[in-house]
Amino acid sequence: VLPFSAITLDRAATLRTDPEWVATQLRDERARIVAASSAGVLADGASLLRGPVELGVAEPILLGLEAESPLFAVDLDRLQQPERLIDGGAVIGLREAGAQLAPAEAGLAAYLASLLAWHRRHGFCANCGARSEVRSAGMMRECPRCGAQHFPRVDPVVIMTVENSGRLLLGRHAGWPPGRYSVLAGFVAPGETIEAAIAREVGEESGIEIESSAFVTSQPWPFPASLMLGCEAVARDGEPKPLDGELEDVRWFSADAIAAAEQANASLRLPPRISIARFLIERWARRTIGS
Ligand SMILES: [Zn+2]
């Protein structure tokens, strides 16, 4: 299971539209809060820290139900006395959360952080500029002036292995640690299919032409609210070149070179284990060496 991908709570999608039901959940003695700030999530060991509702909740943002227990989200950046809640836990970055929390807790951390980041940045109506209000226990904001409804954003990103004759196309950004290469990726543009986004991104970043592509698996990526659409593509033969200034280098790698990247003295370094990029690269190398 990819980090950030496992989530077990019930989002209470239909119940949450009833404000009276939400108010009842807030009064439920089993109700708990989990918290995040713009720096990360509040954790306690391998779990998110769960605190009593009394310590927070100005605008009720309900993540969902854990078994029967309501779980609300609190923004530490907006809390009057965040230290009362933080006591007993520690704010950890999301990359750390992805690596160290139990899978379902890391999934919850991604959901919590992405949702709160959206509320933090969308306090005003994009249509008329008035202050908007929380609805559906946090799954919507509504403008009291013009009535516009705004929903939490998720930004789709294509990320793909690109193969030609048993070689894999990898590129590197200038700021990365020495030797690190990864698969290419980019945001899906308005009006674009996943397949078209793959062909465009690979063409823009390397000049390589795509023959065919297929979806593999996905991963929520809470930086702040991407959804990584993991794909595999087959390319035409060609000499890749960094074209659009995004990459410092882009080239073909053999499956053997990728398999050797784990060794201590290898010159090639793969992306971190929490990323779908690493999963896609290793999946491709395993399949290519195995065939
Ligand atoms: Zn408005």
Chain-centroid distance, C-alpha 155: 9
Q: For residue 151, how far is its CA from the centre of ligand 1 (angstroms)?
A: 13
Instruction: Give the distance (Å) from ligand 1 centre to CA of residue 178.
Output: 48
Interval between CA 56 and ligand 1 midpoint (Å): 28
Residue 8 · residue 24 · CB < 8 Å: no
Residue pLDDT, tens place only, 50-95: 998 887 777 889 999 999 899 999 999 988 778 888 888 999 999 9
Question: 201 phi and psi, to 5 degrees?
Answer: -60, -45
CA of 72 to the centre of ligand 1 (A): 26
Q: What is the pTM of this model?
A: 0.93
CA of 132 to the centre of ligand 1 (A): 7
Ligand 1 centroid, distance to 274 Cα (angstroms)? 39
149 CA to centre of ligand 1 in angstroms: 8
Task: Quote the CA–CA distance of 219 and 103 in Å, as a whole number.
Answer: 13
Residue ranges for the chain with pLDDT beneath 70: none
* Distance between Cα 134 and ligand 1 center (Å): 13
Confidence at residue 189, expressed as pLDDT on a 0 to 100 scale: 98
CA distance 280 to 285: 9
Give the C-alpha separation, 239 to 251, whole Å. Answer: 8
Distance of CA 140 from the midpoint of ligand 1 (Å): 13
Tell how far the Cα of 142 is from the centroid of ligand 1, in angstroms. 8
The pLDDT value recorded for residue 291 is: 72
- Cα–Cα distance for residue pair 74/52, rounded to 1 Å: 11
Token pair 């954003």 is found at 153
The rounded Å distance from CA 150 to ligand 1 centre is 10
CA of 203 to the centre of ligand 1 (A): 40
d(CA 240, CA 252): 8
State the distance from the centre of ligand 1 to the C-alpha of 119, rounded, in angstroms.
15
Given this model, what pLDDT does residue 127 score?
98
